[in-house]
Amino acid sequence: MLNNIIEVKNLKKAYHDGLEATVALDGVSFDIRKGEFVAIMGPSGSGKSTLLHLLGLLDISTSGSYHFEGKNVVTFSGNELADLRNKKLGFVFQSFNLLARTSVLENVKLPLVYSDVPEGQWDELAIRAVEAVGLSHRLNHDQSELSGGERQRVAIARALVTNPEVIFADEPTGNLDSKSGKNVMSIIQDLNERQGKTVILITHETSTADHAERIIRLIDGTIESDTKVKNRLTAADEYVK
């Protein structure tokens, strides 16, 4: 369908160690609409991290098909995949992955170094992204001077700076206290509700997944369930001053 940004059919991923093969994903199929907020849940070893890497174009499947914006990803060259990741996808990880001894502004500008955006626009775009996560007052601070919640907000700003179509959030609240986690989820949900970003959230926490419109549950590399969230949390529900 035209409004599907992601279409996955019978996707499989196996890792080989000599003669042994470990199946991480075993034939998963689903679609994700443009602007949808989907949470992927499952216990350790269920395949959710593998699925994230495949959907984020960080790895390739063993078999099955993955269409992004209607195009089969196997038709893209390595350079085209890298360009797609930079322009269309944004990543927020549990461990923040910020550059040490580097300011908030410089951290957020990093994806632009690998883009075709003229250098003269980098500061303006980065400042705008930092403003979107409420950290303008920390713009020139070293990332080591920030709290965990603030670092994750910097990571979100960095994911936003190229104006991606899809934001992948991998356990974004995993290293945060309850208050910071709620505020980070408020920001992520606001990006979905107000800016129309497609959000794919990897989490093991039901309270975090309840921000999504839909939850896909994995077990042993297969889809156990794919359901709508009945009582979805809103950004306002979570924001803590």
Q: Which of 35-39, 97-101, 154-158 has the lowest mean pLDDT?
A: 97-101
Is it the case that residue 128 has pLDDT exceeding 90? yes
CA distance 99 to 229: 36
pTM of structure: 0.90
**pLDDT tens per residue, range 64-88:** 999 999 999 999 999 999 999 989 9
The CB-based long-range contact list for 79-85 (8 Å cut-off, 24+ gap) reads: 81/57, 82/114, 84/57, 85/56, 85/57, 85/58
Between strands 71-72 and 63-68, the pairing is: antiparallel
Position 239 pLDDT exceeds 60: no
Tokens of 211: 């921000």
∠ CA 137-142-147, rounded to 5°: 70
pLDDT on residue 54: 96
Report, as an integer, the average pLDDT of 198-213. Answer: 92
Q: How confident is the model at residue 238, as a pLDDT?
A: 55
